[in-house]
Amino acid sequence: MSILVIDVGTTTVRAALVTPEGQVKNMRQRKLHSVSSAPGMLEFDAAALARDAIELGSAVAGEAGSVAAVGITNQRSTTVVWDRKTGKPVAPAIGWQDLRTVIRCIELVEQGYHTPPNASATKIEAILDNIDPDREQDLCFGTIDSWIAWNLSDGDTHASDLSNTAMTGLLDSDGSDWNSDLLAALRIPESMLPTIVNTSGVTCIASAIPGKPPITAMVGDQQASMAGQGCTVPGSAKITFGTGAMLDCCTGANRPSFSYMGPDGGTIPIIAWQQNSTPTWGVEAIMLSAGSAINWLIDDMGMLKSPDESDTLAGQCEDTGDVYFVPALMGLGSPVWDFGARGAFFGITGGTTKAQMVRAVLEGIAHRGVDLAEAAQIDTGFTIDSIRVDGGMSRNSIFVQSLADLSGRSIQVSAETEATTLGAGLLAGMAVGIWRDTDELASIYKPTLEIQPVIGESDRLARRVRFTEARNRASRTIPELSELHF
């Protein structure tokens, strides 16, 4: 019997089946409508999102006849606050990319609290300050997994798993419970927080879905992608290339030695998932601009008509003509974390062609992917011999070959472009006995393609040196922003 997965990304709401053979089928999706009411602000209609999830999930489950369980995976840190009695949102959901609380985050750093603006903590405070300044109402907070589970269970369950709660910025230093001191500083009542449950395990009944199957997995999107690409063994790593890019490396039962950010690689400790009250840990390295650089070539520069054209055009030249591009349109993440860095081309001459510039963009994103892998190695001590990739850019042949060449590693391309859906289904199926354990999940992974490096090591190292020089020159373009550290 198949698993129903509801997958809420940054741009779409999806529902699909994951079969006992580990295949994703019967995918249905709708565009997730967001509203940017001002620069740096991003909001969602949470009620519409829940309706879409129920309608799509019910339709897919109906096609299957019955499903064994439901898995939920979602964009992390997006914040929903709703009335406990009515079940209705009291304000628009605030997206994880929303930056309205940057100043507040800076104030909290000065008080000793590291709460980045993408986390939920200050977003909750902002909503409460607006609609319940005296903290008198009976409200619930949830990330998207919690909000979907509430609606699927008809308000019976207010819960979230550790892969999501760890991204709220509200957990204590060992990741086991809510940080009471930070809750007090933000004036967030603990009563409005969800119960923390296992990532893989029976949580409640999805009474809104035909057949009323149990919800047996709730997992953040990047962690779901780890499971979907078989990265359940310590030292295994994947990169999801979307608007930005996230490298996630499994570290096993022991949490990383740092509590906030790796001192040398700039990676962030994460909880990959929890089963039977035992967490599996990992680290996450972040690239702020990946696919967004391709969108820039399309929407703003007019160099391309579609993302697919980047592969074709870049293939018209053998190399970039020694042109380097630094994809820092929103700053640089791991390992340097410089919000004041900005995108830059270096080495342009009168003979530089459009094809070479497009190829330089693809190679620049690949160079940053290598930065992420090197950061994870530094912070974990593991040797990452190969990298598994998913996301839209994983279908770009020039890009994937560049990633292999510049990293000196084999690149395994996921059969599922969006491995999040598969991963959530596998974790949900594990809870009902379709798969035994995470070792079996790792054995299911079969890449659709494996790419090997074709350039020599001396060439690779020389190009890495040139890119690092370019990256350093693109740093601190806006010094005031470069001073920001959360």
Instruction: Determine the Cα angle at 423 with ends 410 and 307, to 5°.
Output: 60
Alpha helices in 93-250 (DSSP H): 102-110, 121-131, 144-152, 162-165, 180-186, 221-228
| β-bridge pairing 449-451 and 410-413 | antiparallel
User: What's this model's pTM, rounded to 2 decimal places?
Assistant: 0.94
DSSP code at position 448: S
Q: What is the pLDDT of residue 191?
A: 97
- State how far the Cα of 77 lies from the Cα of 119, in Å rounded to an integer: 5
Tokens of 159: 């819960």
Q: What is the pLDDT of residue 35?
A: 83
Residue that the structure tokens 């999501």 belong to:
164
- State how far the Cα of 157 lies from the Cα of 483, in Å rounded to an integer: 42
CB 248 within 8 A of CB 387: no
CB 221 within 8 A of CB 249: no
Q: What is the pLDDT of residue 202?
A: 97
Give 25's strand partners. 17
Residue that the structure tokens 């001590």 belong to:
381
Per-residue pLDDT tens digits for 421-474: 999 999 999 999 999 999 999 999 999 999 999 999 999 999 999 999 999 999
User: Residue-wise over 46-78: b if at least 16 C-beta within 10 A, else e?
Assistant: bbebbebbbebbbebbeebeebbbbbbbbbbbb
Alpha helices in 323-474 (DSSP H): 354-380, 397-407, 419-431, 438-444, 457-474
- State how far the Cα of 138 lies from the Cα of 150, in Å rounded to an integer: 15
- State how far the Cα of 360 lies from the Cα of 133, in Å rounded to an integer: 50
- State how far the Cα of 9 lies from the Cα of 417, in Å rounded to an integer: 13
Q: Which residues of the chain have pLDDT under 50?
A: none
* Residue 363: strand, helix, or coil: helix
- State how far the Cα of 231 lies from the Cα of 450, in Å rounded to an integer: 16
Phi, psi of 41 (to 5 degrees): -115, 140
Ordered structural domains, the chain, with CATH? 3-221 (3.30.420.40), 230-413+455-486 (3.30.420.40)
Judged on CB neighbours under 10 Å (0-12, 13-18, 19+), 349 is exposed
State the first-to-last Cα distance of the chain, in angstroms, to the nearest integer: 45
Per-residue pLDDT tens digits for 398-421: 999 999 999 999 999 999 888 999
